[in-house]
Amino acid sequence: MAAHSRQVLLDLVRWNGRIDDLIAAARRIPEGEFPGVVMDRASAQAALRKVLAGQALPGDLTAWTEQLHMREDIDIEPGHEDLLTQFLFEMSTPELFEPITRELCSRWLDELCATP
């Protein structure tokens, strides 16, 4: 069961599946049981590319980042905590920053790709 639960969190971070299904599955897992699941720049880049390619809606990106931002058992890629935390915060609360548009996704993708 533990391996399955860990895989659910990995699938959420990597956005492998329908966002609603991923979020529902992750919500059934008690937080803190599976340390070591890491949100990295590659996952953020892949999510932005989904929106830019029309494979996901801006609202899906908001839901995904909100779930990742809320979970305390998902770590942030070491060395990129500030950048990825800012990404999660801005994308999960577009009403506080700016609406999620193709332009915003492109800017974030450039920023995430430019960071060594």
pLDDT of residue 112: 92
pLDDT of residue 7: 85
- Could you give the CA distance from residue 97 to residue 3 in angstroms, rounded to a whole number? 37
Give SS3 for 37. Answer: strand
- Could you give the CA distance from residue 6 to residue 88 in angstroms, rounded to a whole number? 21
Domain ranges of the chain: 2-114
pLDDT of residue 27: 86
The torsion angles phi and psi of 34, rounded to 5 degrees, stand at: -130, 75
pLDDT of residue 87: 95
pLDDT of residue 108: 95
DSSP per-residue letters across 73-115? TEEE-TT-HHHHHHHHHHHH-TTTS----HHHHHHHHHHHHH-
- Could you give the CA distance from residue 82 to residue 77 in angstroms, rounded to a whole number? 10
pLDDT of residue 1: 47
pLDDT, averaged in runs of 10, over the chain (116 residues): 75 92 87 74 96 94 92 88 94 90 94 84
Q: What is the pTM of this model?
A: 0.89
Question: What length is written for the chain?
Answer: 116
